[in-house]
Chains A and B, each alone.
Chain A
Amino acid sequence: MSTATTNETQDLAPVRTDSLAALLIAKERPPRPSALSASLTFGWRAILKIKHVPEQLFDVTAFPIMMVLMYTYLFGGALAGSPKEYIQFLLPGILVMSVVMITMYTGVSVNTDIEKGVFDRFRSLPIWRPATMVGYLLGDALRYTIASVVMLTVGMILGYRPDGGVPGVVAGIALLIVFSFAFSWVWTMFGLLLRTEKSVMGVSMMVIFPLTFLSNVFVDPKTMPGWLQAFVNNSPVTHLASAVRGLMAGDWPAAEVAWSLGWSGLFVLIFGPVTMRLYNRK
């Protein structure tokens, strides 16, 4: 890894062992950081990574724009008479679908990162164990927020007018981000469980496509066959899409919000511990 670096090394300033010794003289060790502080620090790491590699924002900018444009004009005329009519129904749903789809990249980044030496260092630190993973998800929450704002902007340009106003829209996005944060624990699990980036991607697709398409994002489930309705009406994505749609329309869909939060809690409770078990065993 480090051949042909001689020239650079020649130019390096020498190591100052005297000042090094002064630094090492047993300083009092600070108290351990709290779980929250450690998680936020890892979140800061995720943000620094975005700062250094801004290209990784492609999937939360270009992809969502494409989704809104494509489905609005593809289905708009057929399903609601015109794209402008359809987008009133579609936008909250496509927002949910796109952001939930984007969560899947969490697994890929965990998988590529875990092979690097820095993970060994994180794992040998005396900190709250899930902090590393929570940090990922906090960084991702920022990405989801960016995606939501981008999509909402495109939607507004195309004629979407939410009756819920700013509070409704903010509440809808907040619920979506909470759900995505919780749902991402599925991906951290796959990221740690599967051996290659490609297999993570493959499995994620298998999960995400049926889960997002078999929902009420595009059409009312009433037109579907009974067995499919049974699945669609109970899918967490359907509950979430209904809740976000309701909130953005200025309603208070209490039952759907409760369902969405319930599913969120369930995801964390099941996949959080599984992820941590894998993380500790890795």
Chain B
Amino acid sequence: MSQHTAGLAIETAGLVKTFGETRAVDGVDLAVPTGTVYGVLGPNGAGKTTTVKMLATLLRPDGGQAHVFGHDVVREADAVRGLVSLTGQYASVDEDLTGAENLVLLARLLGHAKKAARERAAQLLEAFGLTDAASKQVKHYSGGMRRRIDIAASILSTPDLLFLDEPTTGLDPRSRNQVWDIVRAVVAQGTTVLLTTQYLDEADQLASRIAVIDHGKVIAEGTKGELKASVGAGSVHLRLRDAEQRPQAAEVLSRVLDAQVQHDPDPLALTARLAPSSGGTAAEQAARALSELVGTGITVDNFSLGQPSLDEVFLALTGHDTQADDAVKNEVAA
């Protein structure tokens, strides 16, 4: 507690949580600056949710320390609860109650008087576009509506720190964008957000710093730029018309891009991972490669430039991909 650093919303040192034989969280160190979105990126079962639960005082750490705004999450749990709000992976509102009842219930529990609770609930329903669904039971809500009511419930009293645990998992792209807009609006008002996600682009869109977590350990941490640079600028994917031209195309790509070329299982497809700094932006490099291919007389049916995917980040950082032993870990994760 005494080594708390000013300006940090969350500070953990060697945080550990074990479930039986499994070390779900295995020595996590985090330093989350106040007023920012901090992304915790990792596959299923990496220990993201367990970490959030410890920080939100729902689980007791087995080792290490964690402070939220300088308060120890175990010894000063009540003080921490007064500052944070939690939106879980699955709708953390009462599905049997209506949207409005849920918000009034929680507003009352946060200390709002009856009238104020009803007003606040109505305002939030309005802002979240849920007025029409206010008197419907939450179990009849769509996925996007659930996330909205869930986030609305988390900001009934503007929290200093908001935990968003995979807020867009399972949402369609449109709902995802809307959740992102909400997160931006929340942060703009000074709330610190700890966002866990499986999607690199989500962390990219929202977070200013990112910690990549795997097997309960932080394996990389930094700003978005730092993280991407460590992985590479992205990949060029192409699909040829003629499989026989593949070796030739591979030769061109590796020469022009100075990149590692990978033969995909599809005999027509190739992937080249761009090196972090082989001259120009990823788009410029890709354009050069394409014109060179066309110039050589190779017929390209499909050409795309992709950001490094989470799989690639993982491959680069850990040497194994996200799918490995997921099946085993998923069972433990819950």
Give the distance to chain A from B86, nearest Cβ to Cβ, in Å. Answer: 5
Interface members, chain B 151-192 (any A CB < 8 Å): 153, 155, 157-158, 170-172, 174-175, 178, 181-182, 184-186, 188-191
Checking A10, A23, A45 against B123 with a beta-carbon cut-off of 8 angstroms, the contacting residue is: A23
With CB as the reference atom, state the residue of chain A lying closest to B188.
Answer: A21
Give the residues in chain B near A42, CB-CB below 8 Å.
109
Give the residues in chain A near B190, CB-CB below 8 Å.
26
Bitwise interface map of B from 102 to 134 toward A, beta carbon under 8 Å scored 1, else 0: 000110111111001000100110111111100
Give the distance to chain B from A105, nearest Cβ to Cβ, in Å. Answer: 16
Q: Interface size bucket, A side?
A: 35 or more
A49 CA to B95 CA, complexed, in Å? 10
Q: Are B189 and A125 in contact (CB under 8 A)?
A: no
Given the contacts A13-B131, A118-B92, A8 and B145 also touching, CB distance less than 8 Å? yes
Give the distance to chain A from B81, nearest Cβ to Cβ, in Å. Answer: 4
With CB as the reference atom, state the residue of chain B lying closest to A13.
Answer: B129
Q: Is A265 an interface residue (CB 8 A)?
A: no
Checking B82, B142, B158, B185 against A126 with a beta-carbon cut-off of 8 angstroms, the contacting residue is: B82
Q: Is B48 an interface residue (CB 8 A)?
A: no
Stretch in A30-38, A177-185, A232-240 touching the partner: A30-38
Q: Are B93 and A23 in contact (CB under 8 A)?
A: no
Q: Is B96 an interface residue (CB 8 A)?
A: yes
Q: Is B44 an interface residue (CB 8 A)?
A: no
Q: Is A5 an interface residue (CB 8 A)?
A: yes
Stretch in B53-61, B219-227, B232-240 touching the partner: B53-61
Give the residues in chain B near A21, CB-CB below 8 Å.
185, 188-189
Q: Is A205 an interface residue (CB 8 A)?
A: no
Given the contacts A3-B170, A5-B143, A20-B182, A126 and B191 also touching, CB distance less than 8 Å? no
Number of A-B contacts (CB under 8 A): 173
A17 CA to B190 CA, complexed, in Å? 15
Checking A3, A19, A121 against B106 with a beta-carbon cut-off of 8 angstroms, the contacting residue is: A121
A20 CA to B172 CA, complexed, in Å? 22
Q: Are B85 and A124 in contact (CB under 8 A)?
A: yes
Give the residues in chain B near A131, CB-CB below 8 Å.
109
Q: Are A30 and B144 in contact (CB under 8 A)?
A: no
A211 CA to B36 CA, complexed, in Å? 58
A245 CA to B57 CA, complexed, in Å? 48
Q: Are B158 and A24 in contact (CB under 8 A)?
A: yes
A37 CA to B109 CA, complexed, in Å? 8
A17 CA to B108 CA, complexed, in Å? 24
Q: Is B17 an interface residue (CB 8 A)?
A: no
Q: Is B148 an interface residue (CB 8 A)?
A: yes
Q: Is B301 an interface residue (CB 8 A)?
A: no
Q: Is B204 an interface residue (CB 8 A)?
A: no
Q: Is B275 an interface residue (CB 8 A)?
A: no
Given the contacts A30-B111, A30-B116, A6 and B172 also touching, CB distance less than 8 Å? yes
Q: Is B258 an interface residue (CB 8 A)?
A: no
With CB as the reference atom, state the residue of chain A lying closest to B184.
Answer: A17
Q: Is A222 an interface residue (CB 8 A)?
A: no
Q: Are A23 and B124 in contact (CB under 8 A)?
A: yes
Q: Are B96 and A15 in contact (CB under 8 A)?
A: no
Given the contacts A20-B127, A123-B58, A117 and B88 also touching, CB distance less than 8 Å? yes
Interface members, chain A 1-56 (any B CB < 8 Å): 1-3, 5-6, 8-10, 12-17, 19-21, 23-27, 29-33, 37-38, 41-42, 44-45, 48-49, 52-53
Give the residues in chain B near A9, CB-CB below 8 Å.
142-145, 172, 174-175
A52 CA to B100 CA, complexed, in Å? 14
Give the distance to chain A from B97, nearest Cβ to Cβ, in Å. Answer: 6
Give the distance to chain B from A189, nearest Cβ to Cβ, in Å. Answer: 19
Give the distance to chain B from A76, nearest Cβ to Cβ, in Å. Answer: 41
Given the contacts A2-B171, A16-B129, A52 and B97 also touching, CB distance less than 8 Å? yes
With CB as the reference atom, state the residue of chain B lying closest to A116.
Answer: B95
Q: Are A25 and B189 in contact (CB under 8 A)?
A: yes
Give the residues in chain A near B90, CB-CB below 8 Å.
1, 116-117
Give the residues in chain A near B170, CB-CB below 8 Å.
1-3
Give the distance to chain A from B37, nearest Cβ to Cβ, in Å. Answer: 15
Q: Are A49 and B57 in contact (CB under 8 A)?
A: no
Q: Is B94 an interface residue (CB 8 A)?
A: yes
A21 CA to B185 CA, complexed, in Å? 6
Q: Is B146 an interface residue (CB 8 A)?
A: yes
Q: Are A24 and B191 in contact (CB under 8 A)?
A: yes
With CB as the reference atom, state the residue of chain B lying closest to A24.
Answer: B189
A41 CA to B97 CA, complexed, in Å? 14
Given the contacts A1-B170, A19-B127, A121-B153, A45 and B189 also touching, CB distance less than 8 Å? no
Given the contacts A16-B127, A45-B97, A38 and B157 also touching, CB distance less than 8 Å? no
Q: Is B101 an interface residue (CB 8 A)?
A: yes
Given the contacts A30-B157, A33-B108, A117-B92, A23 and B129 also touching, CB distance less than 8 Å? no
Interface members, chain B 277-294 (any A CB < 8 Å): none
Give B contacts to A, CB under 8 Å.
Answer: 53, 56-58, 60, 78, 81-82, 84-86, 88-97, 101, 105-106, 108-113, 116, 120, 123-124, 126-132, 137, 142-146, 148, 153, 155, 157-158, 170-172, 174-175, 178, 181-182, 184-186, 188-191
25 residue pairs of the A-B complex, CB under 8 angstroms, read A9-B142, A12-B144, A15-B181, A16-B127, A16-B129, A19-B126, A20-B127, A21-B188, A23-B123, A24-B189, A26-B158, A29-B111, A30-B157, A37-B108, A45-B97, A48-B97, A49-B96, A52-B137, A120-B53, A124-B56, A124-B85, A125-B106, A125-B109, A125-B110, A126-B110
12 new A-B pairs (CB below 8 Å) besides A31-B111, A120-B53? A6-B172, A6-B174, A8-B144, A8-B145, A23-B124, A25-B158, A30-B111, A41-B108, A53-B96, A120-B92, A125-B106, A281-B60
